[in-house]
Structure 1
Amino acid sequence: MNKKEVASKQVRDVKQKIRVLHLIKSLGRGGAEKLIPETALVHDQSKFEFHCLYFYHQPSNIVEELERSGIAVHHIPSSNLGLFLQVNKVREYIQLNSIHIIHAHLPWAGILARSVGNSIGIPIVYTEHNTWERYNKLSYWGNRISFKKQDVAIAVSNEVALSMRLNSIWDPYQRGGRMKLKVIQNGVNTDVFKRMENDKAFAITESRDKKYKVESTKFQAQNEMGLKYQLGIPEDTPVIGIVAVFRDQKRLWLWVEVALKILEQCPETHFLLVGDGEWRERLEAQIKKSGKGTHFHLVGVQKNVIPYLSLMDIYLSTSEFEGLPIAMLEAMSCEVPVVATSAGGIGEVIQQGIQGYLTEIEGWEKLSDYCCELIQNPELHDTMRLAARQRVIDQFSMKRMVRELEDVYGEVMDF
């Protein structure tokens, strides 16, 4: 009996929890990272116990969110290339905590997981959050060479799955080998992500776990006059927004260009950017140069994005590539229609003219016309915002995602 079979038998015999280790390079505020605590809150924690190992520490991270979700978090300091010097430390952590499954996210953690997992014989699950063509050569080849040495590879969208298949098709693969590929699209907790009325953040306490009461009370104190008032946005003004890490793939310089074009047709519109990153200073300079700075509101990273999503009338995305953006799904769950380029999984979510509008990736200049159409047609906007939430409830709920993940965990444990 191999180690995997022994672990499966022990779990069955004593009815102990299945211990899952999430392995990820860093815990910034990207979509892949946010899914770890969000899924943990929905998992049946009477059956599962979750741990998380990360390596690159950022000042703005989600460690507290993971711990509030019941996840044991451990930091092993390391750089990218230094990850492979941490194999022994990761192995020791797994053995000390009797981990049953490694669930790795993104290439660097995936490569490390395959090295560790195969040396000690426990199941490996890997989630790919982006298309392979977007990775640098080192990440790409490290991922590709080791890719089939795992039990299940999960793609967050059909486009990501296609990329995985095309890029690994010529790699050696023994007949009857272990790896399976599954598409599990990202999900949102629709019980939590609901549009708030009157910009009052204290409404969160009605839908969120008690663990969030302190945070929501803080927002209540800050928002007695309403979030729009605080930001200097007139009450009856349309707001177009985005929640994102300010990096190249989001093409936020084009986002600002689209916003400026919208102002030519709809001069009362305001624009809300939630997040931060390497492009912030350049965006601020671009906005200042336009002379329209009073219409733009860059509010930085927010632990609780629901009040900000609830201000938005349109979620605008100019991305060049995506996996399946969590922030967009969260906005839709908060009744925000989407106007976006059809990058990655976005085109798998938005049905043209139903939950919003899509353009080709290089056809981003058309986005302004679609936004103005929604601003100028309140009845159409109202229909689309309700359709956006219903789309998430029907096809992209966190409950559905977690159910499919638990099926994978049971499968690799031979349950």
Structure 2
Amino acid sequence: MTSGPNQVVAADQKYRDGSRINLLEVLGNAIVGGMENYVGNLIGKLPKDEFAVTVLCPFESAYTRALRQKGCAVYIAPLRDDPPWRSIEMIAGLVESHHIDIIHAHLMNAHTVAALAGLLTNTPMVATLHGMSLQPQEISVARLTGTEMILVCREAWSQALAVGMPPEKLTFIPNGVDLERYRPGCAPRSLLRKAIAVSEEDFLIGFVGRLAWEKGPDKFIKAADTILRQLPHVHFVLVGTGTQEKEIARAIERAGIGTNVHLAGLWDDPAQVYPALDLMLHTSRADAMPLALLEAMACGVPVIAIGVGGVPEIVETGETGILIGTSEWPGIVSEFPGDWEGVARAAIKLISQPERLKAMAEASARRAAALYDITTSAALTAQLFRRLTDNAGTPRIRSLREKKVARSL
């Protein structure tokens, strides 16, 4: 526990008045990624007069520092798929000291420990599944502990039904973005371009996300190499960091495309990135409802995306961008099949159609505004939290001892 005694006392006094629902967010990671952005967006949009938020993370990071700056009490404990008892004790202690009414977990390691602690303390538990499919352990934990689950894409939702999860325990809530922050023209077009020495006249194609295998940055480099063979004036930028960063740098060097392909690193504010892009390529191997896609659309950036997971639910193919079918996803009808090869061919064609790109940019912003507003997603999540706290929106502020006494009567 990294928060000191004064913080604990202050938080305890703050939550004793019972005027708010006390929410414990348990995060299985603490990097700057899609799940973490989801939680940050949710915390920012939950009504502050109705919800008080405490957070448990597996380690300290820039992300935990940002959460504290938002006013959250943040604690640290080891979170593993096979959780240590002391982590269960930590959550139980937070439930009592902060009068927690509901626990909300993210990623399988967090889901496992939070579900066990919730069961032991008689506290409602919700797990948001950010992936496009359910892992066996997630299914087992949910069944054994009665976890409520939020699914962010229809593929995961339908799988949960198919494996026999009770429909009343499943809630489908798509991801959303802050439309006040992500919108066309939300930052100068020149901001990112100056950082990577690309002029405002150059055509710039972007990749935004973790540089990790599942996100497919290697596929982006292969597509960039193919595009440059026909259109040597185009520039590319990868925004993000991750385990494959050195490997990606070596791939750029081997291909001899370093003059046109730029590694921009991690940007604290992604809203400063998208206005610089003329086109975004989304080359993930696995994704549910990626925030990077939603953020790009909200900023009016057309997208060419490999149609995995929930991506076909986001991109209106031919209108806001182009979907690429692969052998693993044969149901997508596309004139550009073939994984990253199809991405490259689609980009080459779109670059030669500036009017179509402009129309796609406008359609992207309209679709994001209509369907992916974080205000709506947060409202639906808050509605679920209210229902689980005794269907009355009233927090339960009994201590663990009082709960045990009540159960014995």
Same fold (TM over 0.5): yes
**Greater shift after overlay, 236-245 or 357-366?**
357-366
**Greater shift after overlay, 82-91 or 251-260?**
82-91
1:32-181 counterparts in 2 under 5 A? Answer: 32-57=35-60, 59=61, 61-77=62-78, 80-132=81-133, 140-148=135-143, 149-166=145-162, 168-169=163-164, 180-181=169-170
Aligned counterparts of 1:191 and 1:227: Cα–Cα separation in 2: 20
Aligned counterparts of 2:27 and 2:342: Cα–Cα separation in 1: 37
Residue deviations 1:308-353, cap 9 Å, x none? 1111111101111101001111111111011010011110011110
1:185 CA drift (Å): 0.3
1:190 aligns with 2:193: no
Aligned counterparts of 2:355 and 2:322: Cα–Cα separation in 1: 16
Residue 325 of structure 2: aligned partner: 360
Residue 23 of structure 1: aligned partner: 26
Aligned counterparts of 2:98 and 2:33: Cα–Cα separation in 1: 27
What is the TM-score of this pair, normalised by structure 2? 0.84
Given the superposition, is the C-alpha separation of residues 265 and 198 from structure 1 closer, same or farther in structure 2, using an over 3 Å criterion? farther
Q: Give the secondary structure class of the aligned counterpart of 1:273.
A: strand
What is the TM-score of this pair, normalised by structure 1? 0.83
Q: Give the secondary structure class of the aligned counterpart of 1:242.
A: strand
**Contact preservation (8 Å) 2:289, 2:311:** yes
**Contact preservation (8 Å) 2:186, 2:271:** no
**Contact preservation (8 Å) 1:246, 1:252:** yes
Given the superposition, is the C-alpha separation of residues 146 and 288 from structure 1 closer, same or farther in structure 2, using an over 3 Å criterion? same
Residue 8 of structure 1: aligned partner: none
Residue 382 of structure 2: aligned partner: 406
Residue 12 of structure 2: aligned partner: none
Q: Give the secondary structure class of the aligned counterpart of 1:74.
A: strand
Aligned counterparts of 1:131 and 1:165: Cα–Cα separation in 2: 14
Would you identify which runs of 4 or more consecutive aligned residues in structure 1 move more than 3 Å?
A: 77-85, 195-198
Aligned counterparts of 2:58 and 2:191: Cα–Cα separation in 1: 39
Aligned counterparts of 2:159 and 2:22: Cα–Cα separation in 1: 30
Residue deviations 1:145-171, cap 9 Å, x none? 2212235211001011122233x32x8
1:185-264 counterparts in 2 under 5 A? Answer: 185-196=174-185, 199=188, 226-264=191-229
Gaps of 5+ in 1: 1-13, 134-139, 201-224
Aligned counterparts of 1:19 and 1:352: Cα–Cα separation in 2: 42
Given the superposition, is the C-alpha separation of residues 198 and 108 from structure 1 closer, same or farther in structure 2, using an over 3 Å criterion? closer
Residue 334 of structure 1: aligned partner: 299
Figure out how many residues of one structure are paired with residues of the other and give that number: 364
**Contact preservation (8 Å) 1:333, 1:392:** yes
1:120 CA drift (Å): 1.0
Residue deviations 1:387-414, cap 9 Å, x none? 1111111011101101110110111111
Residue type matched to 2:204 in 1? V
**Contact preservation (8 Å) 1:56, 1:78:** no
Aligned counterparts of 1:160 and 1:242: Cα–Cα separation in 2: 25
Residue 390 of structure 1: aligned partner: 366
